[in-house]
Amino acid sequence: MSGLFSRKHVLATVAVSSLVVFSAVFAKQASAPTNYSELASSKLQSRTTTSVVELLDDMHYEHRVLNATLSSQVFDRYFKDLDGQHAYFLASDLQGFEVYRKTFDNALKKGDLKGAFLIYNRYQQRVAERLNFVIAELDKGVDKMDFAKDEALEVDREKSPWAANRAELDDLWRKRLKAAALSLRLTGKSDADIQKTLGKRYKSQLNNLYRTKSDDAFQVFMNSFTETYDPHTEYFSPRTEENFNINMSLSLEGIGAVLQNEDEYTKVVRLVPAGPADKAGQLKTGDRIVAVAQGDQEFVDVVGWRIDEVVDLIRGAKGTTVRLQIIPAGAVDETQTKAISIVRNTVKLEDQAAQKKILTIKRGEETLKIGVIKLPAFYADFQGMQAGDPNYRSTTRDVKKLINELKAEKINGLVLDLRNNGGGSLSEANSLVGLFIGTGPTVQVKNANGKVEVLGDPDPSVIYSGPLAVMVNRLSASAAEIFAGAIQDYGRGLVIGSTTFGKGTVQSLRDLEYGQLKLTEAKFYRISGASTQHRGVSADISFPNVFDEADIGESALPNAMPWDTIPSARYFPYQDYSKRLPALRQASEARQATDPDFRYLNENIALARELKKQESLSLIEARGNKD
C-alpha cells in the first residue's frame, strides 16, 4: 500500500554527578502546586525504545547513525513538538536541560527514558502554571479588559526567543486571553457568555492535563526521535495503534477526515474522498476545529484537547449529525469562526470507486464530448481477489469498464481526475498505467540496500489510445504521483493542475512488544529515473494552486527525505510534447486571465497569502470591527 501523512517524538541520559546537580535545580524551580502525579516510564517502554532503535538502524532507508549529532536534532525536535510556539517553557528551562542535547543517543540505545520524562514533566508543570494564570485573569472579569488599549499579539512565535522570566509569559498569556475574548466579542457574544465559554475551555484543558498518561509522554518523545529520520516514520502506542483508522477515515462510521494537532487546535489535514465531509463540501483542508456539538446540543469547546478525545466526540453512529465550529483555513484568528453540520455515514467502497461523466464543450463550430473519470483513491478488494470472487472491485477493473462505456458514447478525449487522491495500492497504480500503454515499465522501487526493482505492465493490449489528460493538485500523492509521472514520462498524455504532494517513500508496519513502528523502507522513482519524493510531479499545464506549498506537501514537512535520481528504465515514449507545450501554456494562461472564475480564485489566493504575512494581531476592538 502507498499513501499519505504522519506524526512523531525521543529520550536521554547523563552522568550521575550532573543529574544530581540538575535535579536539585529542578526541585528548586518546581514550586508551583499541581494536581497531577509526575509521569514515569515503564520497563516495557524501555524495552520498546531499544527495539525501535534497532529497527531504525537495521531497516530504515537512509541508515542514519544514531550519534551526538542526531541526538541534538532529537533534542530540538522534542521541544518543538512540546512547545512549538514558545509559550510555556522559560529560557532557564532550556538552559537547564541543555545537558541532554548530546546524550539522547546513548540513552535511546540503553532504553533510558529518565531525561525525556523529566523534560515532559517540566512541560506539564509549565502548562498547568499558564492555565491557572489565565483562569485567574479571567476570574477578574472580561468587562475589566481594556479593548481600546493599543497593543498587539504576535501571531507566530516559533522563531521568537524563549521567555526570560514568568513576567514575560504572564504578559504573553494576558494578550492571548484578551485575543480569545476579543474574537468572541466580535462574533456578538456578551461578556458573560465569553467568560463562561473561555472559563470552560481553560478548565477543560487543565482537567485534560491532569489525565495525561505515561503513554502520552512516551509517544511524544518516541516520535520526536523517529521524526528526525523522516516525517513518515512514526511510533504508535497501543491506543494509537487501535485508532490507526483515524489516519484513514476517523472510523468506519464518522465524517471521513484526517486530523492532527497543531499547537492548541485540531487541524483538518485532508478529507477522505467521497466521505461525508467531502460530500457535504463545508469542511476544507486546513480548517481548525474549535468546538464540537452532537445534533442540536450545545457546543463543547475542544481547543487544547488531545486529538483522540476530539475524535471521540466527532465519531458517532451512521445517520446522526455532528456540528463543528471551525476557523476556516487562512484565517489569522478566531474572528471568522463558522458552524457547519455533517451527517455521519459509513465510507463505502462504492462511494470511493471511480465514477464517470461526460462534458460537452463547444470549440468554434465544433462540439466535443470529453469523458471525465474521477478517481478518489487507488483501491482493491484484496479479500475478494484472494477468495476468487469474479466480481471483486479494483481501480483498474472499474476504470476499464468506465472507459469502454465512454468509448461507446464516442468521446473525443478523456480526463482522469486525480485531485485529492492520496494514493493507495501500488499494484493498482501500476496496472492502471497499463490501460494506456503497451508493455513497458511503470515505476522503479529502490530499497534500503540499494537494490532497484522495476515494475511494469506485461499486457500489450491498450484499452484507450485517444487524447488523455491527468488532473492533479497538491493533495495528489504517492500512487497518484506514480501514475501521473508515468503518463508524463511516456508522453502518453498531459498532466494539468498544480505540483503534487511529493511523497515518494514506502512504509511498512512492524509490530513491537508495545505498539507498532511505521518505518520508511523504500523509495519510488519514475521510469525516467527522477524521484517523486519532495518535488512531486510538476504539471505540464498549470492551474492556480489553492494550497500553499509552504504549508502542505512533503517539502513542508520537517526532515523530509531529499529528491534524487537513479538511472532511467528502458522505455519508449509515445509522444514528445516539448515543442507544443509553450503554445499550449500560453493559450491556457490567456484563458485563465479572462475567465471570471479563474480571476476570482486567484484573487482569493492572493488575499490568503497577504493575510498569512500578518505578523501580529491587533487587540483593539474598534479596529477589529472596522476590518
Say which residues have a Cβ less than 8 Å from residue 54's Cβ, sequence separation at least 6: none
Question: How far is residue 121's CA from residue 123's CA, in Å, rounded to a whole number?
Answer: 5
For the question of residue 503 being annotated catalytic, the response is yes
Q: Are 496 and 441 in contact (CB under 8 A)?
A: no
Amino acid at 578: S
Give dist(CA 276, CA 8) in Å, integer: 28
Query: H/E/C letters for each residue in 428-447?
Result: HHHHHHCCCCCCEEEEEEEE
Element (H, E) at 258: strand 257-262
Under 8 Å between Cβ of 401 and 414: no
Give the β-pairing of 253-254 and 265-271.
Answer: unpaired
Helix (H, G, I), strand (E, B) or coil at 416: strand
Radius of gyration of the chain (CA): 26
Residue with C-alpha cell 504573553? 172
Query: Is-contact 110 13, C-beta < 8 A?
Result: yes
Q: Which is nearest to 415 in space by CA: 466, 380, 459, 490?
A: 466
Residue type, 141: G
Residue in 81, 83, 489, 540 annotated catalytic: 489
3-state helix, strand and coil shares in percent for the chain, rounded to the nearest 5: 40, 20, 40
Cα–Cα nearest to 206, from 339, 46, 32:
32
Residue 474: partners with Cβ closer than 8 Å, 6 or more residues away: 498, 499, 500, 501, 545, 546, 547, 549, 552, 553
C-alpha cell at 430: 501500476
Question: If DSSP codes are grouped into helix, strand and coil, which group holds residue 158?
Answer: coil
| All three cell numbers of 287 | 480548517
Question: CB 340: neighbour CB atoms within 10 A?
Answer: 18
Catalytic residue among 427, 478, 498, 531: 478
What count of other Cβ atoms lies within 10 Å of the Cβ of residue 154?
14
What kind and span of H or E run contains 259?
A: strand 257-262
489 assigned to active site: yes
Which H, E and C letters describe 301-358, residue by residue?
Answer: ECCCCCHHHHHHHHCCCCCCEEEEEEECCCCCCHHHCEEEEEECEECCHHHHCCEEEE
Set 178, 267, 503, 518: catalytic member: 503
User: Residue 442 and residue 150: Cα distance in Å, rounded?
Assistant: 61
Q: Is 255 helix (H, G, I), strand (E, B) or coil?
A: coil
Q: Which residue has the cell 520497563?
A: 43
**Secondary structure string (H, E, C) spanning 211-254:** CCCHHHHHHHHHHHHHCCCCCCCEEECHHHHHCHHHHCCCCCEE
Name the residue with cell 509569559: 169
Burial tier of 431 (Cβ tally within 10 Å: 0-12, 13-18, 19+): buried
Q: Is there a catalytic annotation at residue 31?
A: no
Instruction: List beta partners, residue 496.
Output: 471, 541
Which residues are identified as catalytic?
478, 489, 503
